[in-house]
């Protein structure tokens, strides 16, 4: 009997707050990450999210360990163009929403079902629509 390779059952996406809480080993986020591992979900974030989460007081070893356990998706030209379209469709623009839009475009490009852990569920839900599940953390 040959085994078929495991395929992820979906994707868990961390925004900057989700990533920051993972670095701090927040109980809620840690539980989500354990569930994702148990369910063979991909855990991802956008490369743009790193810009938001890195600051002088962050525990760099804890950040690097956390990042080693997830996939950092690049902001490619197609992702950037999709993010711009999402902003336009939502009637938004500018730097205030840019990283959320890039994260949303990344989430929408990921294998589904997709769940996003965020501190900003209204903006993410507005950008992603019903195509992803948005969970406030």
Pairing of strands 11-14, 71-73: unpaired
CATH code that applies to domain 11-136: 3.40.50.1010
List, in sequence order, every beta strand (DSSP E) within 36-118: 42-46, 71-73, 114-118
pLDDT tens-digit profile, the chain (137 residues): 444 444 457 999 999 999 999 999 999 999 999 999 999 999 999 999 999 999 999 999 999 999 999 999 999 999 999 999 999 999 998 888 999 999 999 999 999 999 999 998 999 999 999 999 999 99
Instruction: Give me the residue spans of the domains in the chain.
Output: 11-136
Question: Whole-angstrom Cα distance, residue 58 to residue 4?
Answer: 40
Confidence (pTM): 0.91
Q: How many CA atoms lie within 13 A of 57 on its CB side?
A: 2
The SS3 assignment for 93 reads: coil
């Amino acid at each position: 009997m040959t085994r078929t390779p495991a395929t992820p059952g979906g994707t868990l996406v961390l925004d900057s707050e989700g990533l920051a809480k993972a670095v701090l080993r927040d109980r809620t986020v840690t539980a989500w990450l354990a569930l994702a591992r148990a369910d063979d979900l991909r855990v991802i974030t956008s490369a743009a999210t790193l810009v938001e989460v890195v600051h002088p007081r962050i525990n760099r070893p804890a950040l690097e360990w956390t990042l080693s356990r997830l996939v950092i998706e690049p902001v490619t030209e197609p992702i950037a163009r999709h993010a711009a379209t999402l902003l336009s469709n939502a009637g938004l623009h500018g730097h205030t929403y840019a990283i959320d839009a890039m994260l949303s475009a990344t989430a929408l490009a990921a294998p589904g079902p997709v769940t996003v852990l965020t501190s900003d569920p209204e903006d993410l839900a507005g950008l992603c629509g019903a195509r992803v599940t948005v969970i406030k953390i």
